[in-house]
Structure 1
């Protein structure tokens, strides 16, 4: 899931809000529902390093064979 404040997060939030508003939900409720749905999915994402560089030197990584 995208992180709050990122462009992807804002794009998905806007899309969810639009879908909710098209279903007949009020503007404020649509905003709340979109935020809650994105926050629920965020717990599934690992907060570990996103790149090899973030894991440190190759020889010092756990489980490395070098």
Structure 2
């Protein structure tokens, strides 16, 4: 299993501004990490969908777990 950091950004005039990030400690693959981060980001901001606060979501880096 691996650890992932997912960044959320809002694009303004074509420039992405980071609005937050979520660290996923254990996930089987990047797709599952991304989905878990989207849910966690939305819940932490009290919204139902992460797209209400961000336009872009990206896997920022990947670290192998031991």
Q: What TM-score does the superposition give when structure 1 sets the normalisation length?
A: 0.38
More helix by share: 1
Pick 1 or 2: higher relative contact order, CA cutoff 8 A, min separation 6. Answer: 2
Larger radius of gyration: 1
More strand by share: 2
Q: What TM-score does the superposition give when structure 2 sets the normalisation length?
A: 0.38
